[in-house]
A and B are shown apart, each in its own frame.
Chain A
Amino acid sequence: MQLIKMAWRNIWRNKVRSLAVMTAVLLGLVAGMYAGALVEGIMQSRFENFIDNQVSHIQVHHPDFIRENEVFQTVGSDLRTLEEVRAISGVTSATVRTRVQSMIASASYTGGVELYGIRPKSENQTTNFSRNLVEGDYLEGESTNGILIGGALAEKLKVGVGSRIVLSYQDKDNNLVSGAFIVRGIFKSGFTRYDEMTAFVFQEYLNEYLGIGQDFHELAVLAEDIENLDEIYSELQKVFPNSSVRKWNEIEPALEIMITSSGLFSYIFIILIMIGLAFGLLNTMLMAVFERTREIGMLMAIGMNRRKVFLLIALETIFLSLSGAIVGLLVGYIIVAWFAKHGLDLSAFSDVMYELGVDTVVYPALNPSFPFVLALIVFGTALLSAIYPAIKALSLSPIEAIRK
């Protein structure tokens, strides 16, 4: 107890230096926390946009459809199954689609697209697709030859709402079929490549051309919460024993790659900051020990044992860093919490944010365990950087030290 008091007082004997070290720890922590939360927030926004508006949480296909893309490789047509899927607890919504690779042509351009036949209503409940429309209308009402295309594709095709375009694809007997469609609406999903490669039509209309009745190739399921995905997954496997049921990370491995690598980057960054802090702390304490050679020698000469000297110096280092750390964690938490509520407006980067599929207002998200992990790292850093100066203090010889 005596030692703790002494260490604490020693810290305040040199206010400027102590405050400088504390400020470094504080700023490092606040900034580290904020940067970590910001990266996490951007990733989450990207993830949510991608899941909620494109891939959904789980998809069901014919086991060979993913690789072979054959028109006849459908999941089935039993519409009761869709009801069954919706009834699974934890499922927000589900929709079915017909998918076919197709050539799309206007007077000025010919290209390939992935053509989706959708049920406009349930599609919208699942992917909220209509919100992406920037021109024209969403598919509604009676099944017609209306088509929705991406903005990037519309530019290439040089078409607008009301234009006629021709699509060619193979039907289930591998005959080449062509059909004319009228552009009803133009969308921008936030992913340019996707906008270039994708088009949407009425499922009913497309199925007639393909000759596959009520069949569908893809069933997309949106879950309420990503936490209980495994249960829904196993339920779906029961409903579709002969089909391939895949979760988002199997459907889009690129997304997982991105999340993993950016997470790794944040951690490396935090570690770099901590190394920087530790080194600053170590150097400062080392210098302080040398500066106080005489004082420490005196303490030893009047009978303070070595263990206590060691503890005293170590405690000083730990107090220095921990008082900075506690304030830092608190301030960081408050700042992050404020931005998490009000959002950080990054519209200066709106083009890129759009390209990356991130909303322009980012809400930094603090992983609840993050502050604790950070506190633990700081504590570890403080302990490590406390040891060396304390050892140095021990190696002083009292007699020589006093004479200085």
Chain B
Amino acid sequence: MLIDINTWIGAWPFRHLEEATVSGLLKRMDRKGIDRAIVAHTGAALYRDPHPANVDLARQIGKHTDRLLPVATLLPQNPGWQEDLRRCHQDLGFVGLRLYPQYHEYRLTDEPALDLIDAAHDCGFVIQVPQRVEDRRTRHPWDVARDLSGGEIIEALRARPKVKWMLLNALGLAAEDLPKEANFLVDISRMTAVLQRNMQRLLDVAGNDKLAFGTGMVFKVADPALLKLEVLDRGKRVREAIAWRNAAKMLGLKVR
């Protein structure tokens, strides 16, 4: 069983993404043996009003809710996010939010952002935060979004330790600095099981319940994340926890 907590569909204005559709994502998952995935719409990261992208994502997923778990993007500074959140929760089948403070010019600990996070948490949502979308060395000159700093992420975890955080595309978070009381998962897409061994560092310091499988598809290829699981020098229980159990637990999924 594999649950990928870090996937996208949709066009990205700065780089061509091949078959960045629900069917394209499902094909990739089939090829790599990935059972389920949390998915967001790239348009939601850049639209002034992201909600139409949320609606489009739900429409594209259609009957594939057995495999794809959609996350929405809302802007804390936009009017009416409360109603959009209600629709995402009650009408559209979303399981969480993916927030991009670096593209929408706020900080996670700003009061309006915390209001949105609290309201989403009350809906039972997970809160996903990508530290970055693309590597800054490859960015289009108009893509000036910053990488979120470890300090900003940790500050948010401290401010809302009960929120179900999923930190995506993250690297450089010092395991010792992550608040022990916080409820978080870090996806493995930028971490390593060999050489630097920062997966092992996080397991040893923060616990076996803090890592989750994530690929970064359709921006990135899935094979590196699969290799990390394969070569990780930990027992079956730990590898299973990373592969799916930790994500399933946070999402409240019943998995056989």
Partners in one complex: no
